[in-house]
Amino acid sequence: MSVDFVLSDEQQAFRDLARTVASDTITPAASGTDAASEPLPSSERRRLAELGFLGICLPAEYGGAARPLLDALIVLEELAKRSQLAAFQVFEANTGPARVVDLFGSEGQKAHLLPPIVAGEKTMAVAISEPEAGSAATDLTTRARKDGHAYIINGVKRWCSGAGHAEQYLVYARLTEEPGAKAIGALVVDSDTQGISFGPRERLMGFEGIPSADIFLDDVRVPATNLIVDAGGFGRLFTAFSIERLGNATMSLAIGQASLDRTARYVQERRQFGKPLVEFQMIQSALADMIMQVEAARLLIYRAAQAAGRHAPVPLEASLAKCFANEMAVRVSDLAMMLHGGYGYSREYGVERLHRDAHGWAIAGGTPDMQRIRIVSEYLSRRFDQRD
């Protein structure tokens, strides 16, 4: 089946608006390049909401625009080229835990949880990983025990982006004593609930301004109405993971495109041996590799997103896009550093930051190695037990 990647007038308008916002109005605090590397100010989050960027894919009855996934990815790329910090809010709202609520929540849950996210009043972060459960997510040990009309949650979560800063968390936990995925579900926990606390902020290689920390859940009691996905629904949650993977891939695409854009300007302006760098064949070859890698990643992302519409993409296509885009961003940002020479290694010019963030997106949401396993599994319609 052929797929037409010509953007509609509305999609071009979305892209142009996001590009204008990214280039002209994102403040230094929102760019994430300030020395303090603080989280995005709430005022900036509300500005994104006023522009409609936090509800692009969410239902109209809850304040969203009910637009296709591709529309959100177009906006996400434009913002992320300028500010990964501002783009992360759009990522979480349109491809992150809010979409889990959109896909699997009851009407009452959606009416309660989604409008504040669309309005920029609250952010919802996801809490899956644990000290002994990363790629092997079904090894998680956090438990949620039913107690009347409530659940009592105990456990530790690790690598939660937004921990200590987000107002709400979608916590994955074991709801029964069944083994593996059969017991796993997901509940929403407010950050001010008694019994929840946060570890010190992680000092990461990249992702400056996007806080990450451990979450400690000690007899955290939440209403039973906070249960979004019941035990046995972990398989259905892979639907949402496929959406998140396209958001992740688009953040990598933005890094690749920003690296390419900066390098294309630099090699035409910088002179060595009496002529611009771009006049040297080695530079042309490296730049051509960067262009091919970026364009190929975009095509994989667009194919998956356009075929999905407002729904989840085909898992195979989502994993192909994520794996390729993650590795593209690492390669292209590394070439950008090399072609910028000493300037590429200087924090003052920001090229090295693109490379550091590229590695972060490759780890988040399922590493390229894990995506390769999923690609073969989906392509052959076979399951592979990594435990054996």
The domain boundary residue, chosen from 94, 118, 142: 118
- 222 and 266 housed in the same domain: no
- 241 and 373 housed in the same domain: yes
Banded model confidence at residue 59, pLDDT cuts 50, 70, 90: very high
Reported as a single tens digit per residue, the pLDDT across 337-388 is 999 999 999 998 999 999 999 999 999 999 999 999 999 999 999 988 777 6
Residues 324, 366 contacting (CB under 8 angstroms): no
Residue among 277, 286, 281, 367 nearest 332 (CA): 286
Query: Rounded to a whole number, what is the largest CA-CA distance in the chain?
Result: 79
The domain boundary residue, chosen from 118, 136, 163: 118
Reported as a single tens digit per residue, the pLDDT across 151-166 is 999 999 999 999 999 9
Residue 146, domain member (yes or no): yes
- 204 and 277 housed in the same domain: no
Residue 2, domain member (yes or no): no
- 190 and 291 housed in the same domain: no
Query: Residue 18 maps to which CATH number?
Result: 1.10.540.10
- 37 and 160 housed in the same domain: no
* Distance from C-alpha of 52 to C-alpha of 79, rounded to nearest angstrom: 13
With the CA atoms of 80, 340, 320 and 126 taken in that order, what torsion angle do they form, in degrees rounded to the nearest 10?
-40
- 308 and 257 housed in the same domain: yes
Residue 1, domain member (yes or no): no
pLDDT score, position 307: 93
Is residue 185 within a helix (H) or strand (E), and if so which, with residue range? Answer: strand 184-190
- 258 and 193 housed in the same domain: no
- 106 and 153 housed in the same domain: no
- Within the chain, residue ranges assigned H as helices are 9-20, 28-31, 42-50, 69-82, 84-95, 97-104, 107-118, 234-269, 281-308, 315-340, 351-363, 368-380
Residue 386, domain member (yes or no): no
Q: Is the pLDDT of residue 135 over 90?
A: no
The pair of structure tokens assigned to 108 is 């009452």
Residues 67, 8 contacting (CB under 8 angstroms): no
* Distance from C-alpha of 131 to C-alpha of 140, rounded to nearest angstrom: 9
Residue 98, domain member (yes or no): yes
Split into its structural domains, the chain has a count of 3
Residue 135, domain member (yes or no): yes
Residue 228, domain member (yes or no): yes
Q: Can you say whether the dihedral through the CA atoms of 180, 186, 192, 193 is positive or negative?
A: negative
**Residue 377: exposure state from Cβ atoms within 10 A (0-12, 13-18, ≥19):** middle
Residue 311, domain member (yes or no): yes
Reported as a single tens digit per residue, the pLDDT across 21-34 is 887 656 555 555 54
- 53 and 152 housed in the same domain: no
Give the CA radius of gyration of the chain. Answer: 21
Domain limits for position 58: 9-118
- 92 and 104 housed in the same domain: yes
Reported as a single tens digit per residue, the pLDDT across 175-192 is 999 988 899 999 999 999
73 or 7, which is more confident? 73
- 13 and 38 housed in the same domain: yes
Helix/strand/coil for 83: coil
- 88 and 131 housed in the same domain: no
With the CA atoms of 235, 183, 193 and 50 taken in that order, what torsion angle do they form, in degrees rounded to the nearest 10?
10
* Distance from C-alpha of 242 to C-alpha of 317, rounded to nearest angstrom: 9
Q: How many residues does the chain have?
A: 388
The domain boundary residue, chosen from 65, 92, 118: 118
- Burial code (b: 16+ CB inside 10 Å, e: under 16) for 171-184 equals bbbbbbeeeebbbb
- The letter for the amino acid at 94 is N
Reported as a single tens digit per residue, the pLDDT across 202-242 is 999 999 889 899 999 999 999 999 999 999 888 888 788 99
Helix/strand/coil for 21: helix
Distances (CA, A) of 139 to 182, 207, 229: 11, 26, 18
Query: Residue 212 maps to which CATH number?
Result: 2.40.110.10
* Distance from C-alpha of 64 to C-alpha of 118, rounded to nearest angstrom: 6
Query: Residue 313 maps to which CATH number?
Result: 1.20.140.10
Q: What is the pTM of this model?
A: 0.94
Banded model confidence at residue 3, pLDDT cuts 50, 70, 90: low
